[in-house]
Chain A
Amino acid sequence: MRLMRLLGFDTQADRYAYAVDPAVGFVSAQKKPDRWVPTTCGYCSVGCGMFIGVKDGRAVSVRGNEAHPVNRGMLCPKGLSEHYTIAAENRARYPLLRHNARFSRVEWSDAIETMAARFRRVQAMHGREAVGVISTGQLVTEEFYTLGKLVQLGLGTPNYDGNTTLCMSTAVSGYKRSFGSDGPPGAYEDLERADVILLIGANIADNHPILCRRLEVNRSAMLIVVDPRVTKTAMLADLHLPIRPRSDLALLNGLIHIVIDREWIDREYIEAHTTGFEALCESVREYAPDRVAEITGLDVDMLSRTAALYANARAAFIGWTMGVNHSSKGTETVHAINNLALITGNIGRAGAASFSITGQCNAMGTREAGGASGLPGYRKFESAKDREELAAIWNVPVDRIPSARGLAYPDIIDAVLDGRIRALWIIGTNPVVSFPNVNRLQEALARLEVLVVQDGFHPTPTSALAHLVLPAAIWGEKEGTYTNSERRVSKVNRAVDPPGEARSDFEIFLDVADALGVRDELFPAWSRPRDAFEEWKRVSAGRLCDYSGMAYEAIEQHGGIQWPFSAGDSDPDRSRRLYVDGRFQTEDGRARLIPVSWEPFPEQPSSSFPLVLNTGRTVEHWHTRTKTGKVPILEHLSPNAWVDMNPRDARALRLQSHDRVDVVSRRGRVRDVELRLTETVAPGQVFVPFHYAEANANQVTQNVFDPISREPNYKQAAVRVERTAR
């Protein structure tokens, strides 16, 4: 065959043939499926509807779902190539148990029994709380619900958190304290209906490209982007506010100052629906435009203009992502956002929202049902009423439900380091790449007596350190629901079988429950995700995140349904918003205006580390590249990490574009990265994408956390850049 090819015969003609598919038309024959399976994208939280093309039991193609209200047939480059993740060579296929330095294949039953026995042994010797669980935002809601119940009631440890604490916990804390509950109040439709859109630390053009389409539709809106970097999104803006790193909180307080000063507030709304206005007025007094201009680097005119635009809009929308969340002042910044929205009455109306654009495909699902940072159904650990309600539904004694939250993710790692936690179960996340100041995390993982890693992929930098690897099914191989940023519950379906002996996380959880002897009590007669969904519907009934009117079939049919959707609700297609009546989830139904104050970021540049490092993403990749790193076209488009630096800094350092450099902080060094000179970053700042394990930005980031949300301050590390030694 090879000789024939070398001679010049067209041996590959079949591979490059075309065929006609009824849905997509004329297309490469190898991409023409036997059937299309509807599902929802498994990357980010935009929640695009799509189909997986299945041919001979393999996923060969995808296409956007034209009828889906979120994306109307469009997908981003990751979505367009998502089927490659299923057949990636680094999929975990068999349970693996470590003997000394080597993994060997074991039976599932042995793996689960080993896990249960080792966890029980650790708990017997060191207490129940010596086992920790770190989960993810990537599972289906049914799995999160099952896992939460399993961990809190079955394993009996409250030390359970998700990697969502690395991205969204700040929004959760901010919402809870301002509005009395988690839950982004707006809808994507607001992007089309707002007349001013203020995006803070949100580069949606790279990170949520399918949302950009909404901006395109709403061209008459004024788009204001706050970002220290001239991102793709900043370039779309009518007004870009290139603030100094982490001066967003000062900016927001400054805007509130101007809005109050000029009487651009909605006094009626404030009086009817909020408390704390006097204290807020007092707290922003020191944020006069002159001082805010000095802190942010913006001029006074620009501040007044922004305030005028926002406050006088008919409907104003604030969206934010990691620029706000990845900060030790993140929760307070979210309060400031909510304060601004509340005093101008920009909540609960079409086009008006304070809207956290979430990260992972089902970060929302774990927030609602997961039982980590709160009890399922946005219930509070602290509330006796909530615990009793839940105990009644679950038919367990109320004292089995913990009355306080366990340790958050970074505190679990600390607890491992000081020996309070001896065993860890890591599910669907890759902290060896994603955790800040990763050296400390690696030290912690090395001290564990038991590390179980349950993942769709192996080896990952994390699973390589495990004592036990449990191979899990991924997107496309299992059934359930995801909730997107706008609280839309969408269906995900099984299109193909998992590779090797990999099983869905749902099945694994039930097996673990079995081995722990709690299956019959906690999950009676459960066999499929639908069983969890039906119970979860009952748990959510009457809560803010009310699923009780939903059913799998209806969700599928309508391209997802936004909660709250209670049993009596009709019109599942309508855009839904929270707090339409101005009644919030607090005791008195009023939103809290919470005074907050700006502080300089913790690690200021110095003569040894003169540059401020910002980290972020590129459109081609997802998180730690476990998935996208194995998608050939995405790797081809963006194969390596780089450092963006302003040419003025490079001149001073005698560096040229494409030189190989190291990025060095007090904590570590990112080695041998390509330098790119660009005017998209300010002098004095550098940017590194965080996707690449080989050049891990988290070698240099800080382990400084928000005191409320426990989210890391990934951004603003002080670094220097030097030529890589050869």
Chain B
Amino acid sequence: MSLPLLKRAADDGVTFVMTPRSGVPAITRRREPDDPPRMPSRLPGPGEQYRFHVDMRRCIGCKCCVVACNEQNGNPAAINWRRVAEVEGGWYPQTARAYLSMGCNHCVNPTCLEGCPVDAYTKDPITGIVRHNANTCIGCQYCTWTCSYGVPQYNPERGIVGKCDMCYGQLQHGQPPACVSACPQAAIQVEIVNISAWRTAVAASTGGHGVPIADASISTTRVTMPDGLPPDVRPVGVGEIAPQHAHWSLVMMTVLTQLSVGTFVTIWLLQLLAVETRPSVAALGSLLVAIVALNGATLHLGRPIHAYRALRMWRRSWLSREVLLFTAFAAVASAYAALLWFDRPGATIVGGLTAALGIAGITASGCIYRVPSRPSWNTTLTPLQFNLTAAALGPLLAAALGAARASLLSPAAALLTGAQLVVMAFAFLRLIASSSVELQGTARLLSTTLRHQFIARGVLLAIGGIVLPLVVTGAAGWWSALAITLAAETLGRYLFFASAVPRHLTAPYLRVGSEAVCV
């Protein structure tokens, strides 16, 4: 079988056209009769696209695909656009192990594309390949979370993410992707899928039969499962969970914006309730915190200089929305602070707008983390906890900067911090009670490797947010309460990132006790 030579037309808007083979000499493979074709002999038609088929019956877990992919793309060893997961079930000697090799699933509705704030992703109209544009990407890494399969990976050396593009360039030269060519067992193939038929199949899927469990993105990868996989099949090596990347710039950015928003909301409420208040210093201080936090956030980007591009996709990306809302918040908060400083009228209305934008911004922050790829984040508790961080910290900064009398703010601070502690305990109970391997993994991290940090957070929160506000007096007391509570919340946010065990690679395809529900 000769492979089609696919060529991208230069300028006529048609992405792929088939051209006769010329120029590049063909590789003629001696193919054994049992080998399935490694790629189709034609382009996808209307309503069709290319996809991977992974035959777990053939796979021997040699990881040639991983090595070949890294060589093809010149990636460093730590970045693997194709990965191999291992599952085991049964009892000696009736033991079964199986290997699932995964690149990009080239989804029908790619969630990487949906979440990207700069529109760096495109879905190729002819082949359906999900492509990433290295020039557009700003390295925000949001797609590493919005993708339910952990496909895009951040390359710190280059400051952007990258991902499997089914060796688009190789296809253009009439050759299969590197992983497909390198597989000694012919266990990976490219094939054509009818998209609407696949949608129907996925919608009906309950997992475990080679069709992915229905989710927002609809992976197109088809998996042929081994025969007679035992019912207790489980991922190999899930107990071995290391703390994840801490994302310190995001820890600081989220906690400080929440501190700022909490303080503005406190000031505004004090004003609204018409109690005796001296808010101008507190507002100015809080504004400074917001400005530091928002500028600091760009340090999280691999390409800070292109940060402004993040505003672009606000219609569909929570990250764009967060950036937009916080930018607006900072602008309106500046006006609010100015009105308070110069004691001009209209401050209450502008303050209300500031508070509303701030809370909306925090909620948008929370929604960023509502992703199936990180089961420990994917709960309404996330935006709730973010808002409670604001609620616990705001009164403390307001009090420290002398916005109002202690008797008024201390019960509020204690109450709100108490709420945060209750939610923290509830969230931990949810982890322990869960049967999902990822949530159990998070619980295991919090109770082993990260145990000291986890306990410290609870204790600091209780001291700084509840005990101190109720017992201390004077600015120094408030400042220490703020410092301790801020440390507690920073630690809490560190744990939020460090304990987020990613969804197991096989989760969409195998019932392996994973967090299956994705919507």
Contacts and interface: CB of A to CB of B under 8 A. Distances in A.
B271 interface: no
B60 A205 contact: yes
A250 interface: no
Contacts of B93: 230, 234, 240, 242, 682
B345 interface: no
> A20, A26, A632, A683: which has the most chain B beta carbons within 10 Å?
A26
B58 interface: yes
B173 interface: yes
B159 A80 contact: no
B305 A8 contact: yes
Nearest to A27: B72
A543 interface: no
A8 B139 contact: yes
For chain B, which range describes its interface: under 10, 10 to 19, 20 to 34, or 35 or more residues?
35 or more
Given A75-B182, A209-B184, A28 B73 contact: yes
Interface in B234-289: 236-237, 239-240
Contact of B29 (A27, A73, A213): A73
A681 B93 CA distance: 8
Contacts of B237: 676
A213 B184 contact: yes
Contacts of A637: 63, 66-67
> B185, B240, B304: which has the most chain A beta carbons within 10 Å?
B185
Given A26-B170, A232-B97, A633-B77, A681 B64 contact: no
Nearest to A9: B305
A526 interface: no
B78 interface: yes
B92 A681 contact: yes
Contacts of A9: 303, 305
A66 B28 CA distance: 8
> A23, A234, A240, A658: which has the most chain B beta carbons within 10 Å?
A658
Contacts of B25: 22-23
A102 interface: no
B63 A636 contact: no
B30 interface: yes
Given A26-B173, A75-B182, A680-B95, A16 B64 contact: no
B92 A646 contact: yes
Contacts of B135: 10
A8 B60 CA distance: 41
Contacts of A7: 303-305
A619 interface: yes
A84 to B, nearest CB: 10
A636 B153 CA distance: 16
B172 A28 contact: no
A232 B97 CA distance: 8
Nearest to B30: A72
A30 B75 CA distance: 10
A212 B184 contact: yes
Interface string A607-642: 000000000000110000000000011111100000
B304 A16 contact: no
Interface string A196-227: 00000000011001101100110100000000
A24 B175 CA distance: 8
B184 A26 contact: no
A61 interface: yes
Contacts of B124: none
B70 interface: yes
A236 B236 CA distance: 19
Contact of B74 (A10, A30, A66, A76): A30
Contacts of A30: 74
A80 B97 contact: no
A615 B181 CA distance: 32
B67 A77 contact: yes
Contact of B71 (A81, A216, A680): A81
A117 to B, nearest CB: 45
B91 A679 contact: yes
Contacts of A724: none
A206 B62 CA distance: 7
A12 B157 contact: yes
Nearest to A64: B182
B462 interface: no
Interface in A9-35: 9-10, 12-13, 15-16, 18, 20, 22-31
A680 B88 contact: yes
A680 B92 contact: yes
A12 B75 CA distance: 12
Given A8-B139, A632-B76, A619 B305 contact: no
Given A25-B173, A205-B60, A236-B60, A16 B158 contact: yes
A656 B303 contact: no
Interface string B14-27: 00000000001101
Nearest to B173: A25
Contacts of A635: 77
A572 B63 CA distance: 34
Nearest to A234: B93
Given A18-B169, A680-B95, A28 B62 contact: no
Contacts of B305: 7-9
Interface in B166-194: 167, 169-170, 172-175, 178, 181-182, 184-186
B510 interface: no
Nearest to A68: B30
A80 B134 contact: no
Given A9-B305, A26-B169, A81 B74 contact: no
Contact of A679 (B28, B32, B74, B90): B90
Given A80-B182, A232-B61, A23 B27 contact: yes
B182 A15 contact: no
Contacts of A213: 32, 184-185
A342 B32 CA distance: 31
A657 B444 CA distance: 12
A74 B68 CA distance: 11
B302 interface: yes
Contacts of B239: 656-658
B92 A216 contact: no
B456 to A, nearest CB: 22
Nearest to B80: A636
A189 interface: no
Contacts of A619: 61-63
A636 B182 CA distance: 19
A5 interface: yes
A392 interface: no
A161 B144 CA distance: 55
A217 B60 contact: no
Interface in A675-701: 676, 678-683
Contacts of A497: none
B96 interface: yes
B95 A230 contact: yes
B304 A230 contact: no
Interface of B: 24-25, 27-30, 32-34, 58, 60-64, 66-68, 70-74, 76-78, 80, 88, 90-93, 95-97, 134-135, 138-139, 157-160, 162, 167, 169-170, 172-175, 178, 181-182, 184-186, 236-237, 239-240, 301-306
Given A31-B74, A209-B64, A230-B95, 17 more contacts: A6-B304, A7-B303, A25-B24, A26-B172, A67-B30, A80-B182, A212-B60, A212-B184, A216-B34, A216-B58, A234-B93, A240-B93, A619-B63, A632-B77, A633-B70, A636-B78, A679-B90
13 contacts: A7-B304, A26-B172, A66-B28, A205-B61, A209-B60, A213-B32, A216-B186, A217-B33, A242-B92, A633-B66, A633-B70, A636-B80, A680-B88
